[in-house]
Structure 1
Amino acid sequence: MSTSSGTSVFRNMLIWFGAAISIAEIMTGTYYATLGMMRGLEAIVIGHIIGGILLFGAGLIGAKERKSAMETVKSCFGGYGAMLFIILNIVQLVGWTAIMIYDGSISAAAAFGTAPELWAAVIGILILGWLYIGLDGFTKINTVVMAALFIMCLVLGHLIWSGSGESLVPIDDSLSFSSAIELSIAMPLSWLPLISDYTRRAKKPVAATAASAITYCVISMFMYVIGMSAAMYTGETNIALLMTGAGLGVVGLFVVVFSTVTTTFMDAYSAGVSSESLSSHIKGRGAAVVVTIVGTIAAMLYPMDNIMDFLFFIGSVFGPMISVLLANYFFLKRRDVTGAWDWGNVIVWLIGFIAYRELLTMDMPWGPTLWAMGLTMVLTVIVGKLRAGRTVQA
């Protein structure tokens, strides 16, 4: 694929700008209120720097190889081995689709006194419309929508901070600093299996990937801080209620609904791209439509108010996965699929997964992700060197 016909740096920035302006990001930010402003801000920044570096690494591989995120995974887990992560990725994307629609519908319903199921249906239909337009049309519309959304978020931030005084939330140890860092890492980490779906089409692979990762992390941090500040200084965690209470009315609804649609579109779109890797008979757009419908129905039927366990699950699966991928690509220089299964790397990933789950029960400095990923990368390099040594001897 020629890079001359690919997407621009600005276009990639817009896509990830839209991904970061999310109700889920603001809701996650509310968990930080008990840390206090300075400690909470420190955890948010540290986590996003770590997550942003990982996001850049994952996106760069796809951009250089011109492959989707899940296609790059085949180079270190084998053709069938990668199927495990493709399925897990589709599962997490269905989960994100449902969570995003649920958050948007609950917020809109609380602000306007209507049934959340109605708003879930409205949001689901709008996402289907975005999917019909496609990525090219989405980017054009996204330029206008994102500018409006960002201005509204700036207004929201001003409303919160201009009226701030004493924190209404007591500072305690209900959220440890290491867990706070982990929650900050987890959000960019959740995009690791998706970023190459967009950077693979970039004209300038390095610049577009860097711009994507930086844009996402900067705006995501802003969203987190809005959520944290809202919880601290207003005692309100429902952002739609905060906006309507401040007199924003329809503007508040606009922010809630369209930020949900633009972010969830990416989840559904990437679920379709990942589904194509399962079988040549699966059409990406059709799979994305199915994911949207399933997510909408789930949002109508099941409560999804606390997503911390879901974020930690994503970290435990995809943190070790990207560790194996990064070590294989940048240290071992492996590029091609080596067979149906690469059992050495699958076992290394499993060790990393177990290590993450165990470390999650401990109050590790800087959270479990760095430690589990470090262990996984070291083991990947060791296994790779041992295999290379046996090949030379043979």
Structure 2
Amino acid sequence: MTNENNNTLGFTHYLFLWFGAAVSIAEILTGGLLAPLGFQSGVTAIVIGHVVGTVMMVLCGIIGTQERIPALVSTRISFGAYGSYLFSILNVLQLVGWTAVMIISAARSANEISKMLWGMDQMSLWSIGIGGLVLLWIALGREGGLKRLNMLAVFLLLGITVILSTVVFKDSSALSVLPAGGMSFGEALELSVIMPLSWLPLIADYTRFAKSKTSAALGSGLGYFIGSCWMYIIGLGAAIVAGNPEPSAMMLAANLGLSALGIVVLATVTTTFLDAYSAGVSFNNIFPELNEKQVALVMTIIGTVIALWINIEEYESFLIAIGSVFAPLFAVLLTEYFIIKNRLVRPEVLINWSALVVWALGVGMYYQFIKMEFIFGATIPVMLITALLYKIIWGYTKQWKYCKKSPMAL
């Protein structure tokens, strides 16, 4: 639980926070993966996927605001304490992975720019430098300087987003190019849903400090939806028009020169901060005696080290792995909280076996839908089926809980 004096964040803060989180190189590169579908179908998949994903994200944020608890602590409502530990570990792995992906993708873009400007090829140095700036951002903390600095950063990123859009779409006729093929609509839809889905285990870490449920929900939803769709469409357009969604190429084409380096670094730090900080919060769910900020700093260092060795070409597989774990997990939690209306974290419940079984079935279903190349992707049908299954069996499996106390306490 949080102290009421900490609940000071309003609509503007969340709008800026999540718009800044969405403006990232990873989002542009993911949008570029949709190029084989063509521009019109690609944009349709982007918008539909983001509507679904952002709604799920906002609902998870509402739990954080109403209960004043972090995201992974909220999973105790459905899965019990031990279940939340399992998902905390999986989330830490995801977030350290995201930290590494964000750092290496930014380092590659910065390295391309520095090679063009000065002939300097220092990938490792850029990775270490960007990781160091994320450490500094975390050290500044949630209030004060970071709050004001994040708002300034978002204004700068908004301007850069407009510039990138101008570069990509100055020749609009190129967007009427016929689809190249090689990607189904369902695959494109899935890649669009997965990005907001990856924030489900994080958003409540921040909305728990909101002044009100409405301000956090509207600010987070609008900020992320607008920013992420915009980034995807820029990446999609760049991949179709120029065959290259790499942001460094766009910024050099816009003659931004040295400013391009600052843009790449700024966009990365505002997003990667959230990943690293929430890794600390998730770890704190297992070991509450540890300081979450200090843990976040350690996670950033680990992510930076991994970034020196990671193979970015496995990025799409990484996204699918995220979807397989967290789509059924939050389908269960959202069903428990909003439909069954069981909203209590019960300390005596160590594990809910029925919830874990349904989650495991959902993970298996996810990979089956991926193989099928279903028109609605994998996340949407898996979340619906998982939610329906959990609702149906909930009344029959309430006793499938392992508790510290006597079963009579149930």
Q: TM-score by structure 1 length?
A: 0.96
Shift of 1:389: 9.9
Contact 1:120 1:300 in 2 (8 A): yes
CA–CA separation in structure 2 for the residues paired with 1:341 and 1:6: 34
Identity in percent: 38
Stretch moving more, 111-120 or 98-107: 111-120
Secondary structure of 2:152 counterpart: helix
CA–CA separation in structure 1 for the residues paired with 2:22 and 2:148: 18
Q: What residue number does 1:333 align with?
A: 341
Contact 2:107 2:123 in 1 (8 A): yes
Q: What residue number does 1:346 align with?
A: 356
Stretch moving more, 82-91 or 157-166: 157-166
Shift of 1:237: 2.4
The 5 Å alignment of 1:181-200 reads 181-200=189-208
Shift of 1:4: 8.0
Spell out, residue by residue over 1:336-370, the C-alpha distance to the aligned partner (whole angstroms, 9 max, x if none). Answer: 23410000101111111111111110021211111
Matched, 1:175 2:177: no
1:378 to 378, 385, 388: 388
CA–CA separation in structure 2 for the residues paired with 1:57 and 1:8: 17
Q: What residue number does 1:203 align with?
A: 211
Shift of 1:149: 1.3
Secondary structure of 1:243 counterpart: helix
Shift of 1:167: 5.4
Shift of 1:215: 1.3
CA–CA separation in structure 1 for the residues paired with 2:5 and 2:52: 29
- Structure 2 CA distance for partners of 1:261 and 1:389, relative to 1, 3 Å: closer
Spell out, residue by residue over 1:285-305, the C-alpha distance to the aligned partner (whole angstroms, 9 max, x if none). Answer: 111111111111111122213
CA–CA separation in structure 1 for the residues paired with 2:190 and 2:360: 20
CA–CA separation in structure 1 for the residues paired with 2:159 and 2:180: 33
CA–CA separation in structure 2 for the residues paired with 1:302 and 1:45: 30
Letter of the structure 1 residue corresponding to residue 127 of structure 2 = A
Q: What residue number does 1:155 align with?
A: 163
Letter of the structure 2 residue corresponding to residue 52 of structure 1 = T
1:132 to 110, 120, 139: 139
Shift of 1:5: 3.9
CA–CA separation in structure 1 for the residues paired with 2:176 and 2:104: 27
Letter of the structure 2 residue corresponding to residue 371 of structure 1 = P
Shift of 1:3: 7.1
Shift of 1:376: 0.8
Matched, 1:292 2:294: no
Q: What residue number does 1:266 align with?
A: 274
Stretch moving more, 166-175 or 353-362: 166-175
Letter of the structure 2 residue corresponding to residue 69 of structure 1 = A
Contact 1:190 1:314 in 2 (8 A): yes
The 5 Å alignment of 1:69-84 reads 69-84=71-86
Letter of the structure 2 residue corresponding to residue 293 of structure 1 = I
Letter of the structure 2 residue corresponding to residue 360 of structure 1 = I
Q: What residue number does 1:304 align with?
A: 312
Letter of the structure 2 residue corresponding to residue 377 of structure 1 = A
Contact 1:29 1:228 in 2 (8 A): yes
Contact 1:3 1:204 in 2 (8 A): no
Stretch moving more, 28-37 or 93-102: 28-37
Letter of the structure 2 residue corresponding to residue 117 of structure 1 = S
Where do 4+ consecutive residues of structure 1 move more than 6 Å?
Answer: 389-392
Matched, 1:96 2:104: no
1:13 to 9, 12, 15: 15
Q: What residue number does 2:128 align with?
A: 121
Contact 2:20 2:271 in 1 (8 A): yes
- Structure 2 CA distance for partners of 1:238 and 1:86, relative to 1, 3 Å: same
- Structure 2 CA distance for partners of 1:389 and 1:77, relative to 1, 3 Å: closer
- Structure 2 CA distance for partners of 1:214 and 1:362, relative to 1, 3 Å: same
Secondary structure of 2:81 counterpart: coil
Spell out, residue by residue over 1:57-112, the C-alpha distance to the aligned partner (whole angstroms, 9 max, x if none). Answer: 11111111111001100111001111110100000000000000000000110111
Matched, 1:214 2:216: no
- Structure 2 CA distance for partners of 1:173 and 1:332, relative to 1, 3 Å: same
Shift of 1:164: 4.2
CA–CA separation in structure 2 for the residues paired with 1:57 and 1:186: 16
Letter of the structure 1 residue corresponding to residue 259 of structure 2 = V
Contact 1:117 1:300 in 2 (8 A): yes
CA–CA separation in structure 2 for the residues paired with 1:62 and 1:302: 33
Secondary structure of 2:256 counterpart: coil
CA–CA separation in structure 2 for the residues paired with 1:27 and 1:349: 30
List alignment gaps of at least 5 residues for structure 2.
116-120, 401-406
The 5 Å alignment of 1:28-47 reads 28-47=30-49
CA–CA separation in structure 1 for the residues paired with 2:83 and 2:157: 40
Spell out, residue by residue over 1:159-186, the C-alpha distance to the aligned partner (whole angstroms, 9 max, x if none). Answer: 2111344359862331211000000000
List alignment gaps of at least 5 residues for structure 1.
none
- Structure 2 CA distance for partners of 1:147 and 1:340, relative to 1, 3 Å: same
Matched, 1:356 2:366: yes
Letter of the structure 1 residue corresponding to residue 8 of structure 2 = G
Contact 1:168 1:233 in 2 (8 A): no
CA–CA separation in structure 1 for the residues paired with 2:254 and 2:37: 26
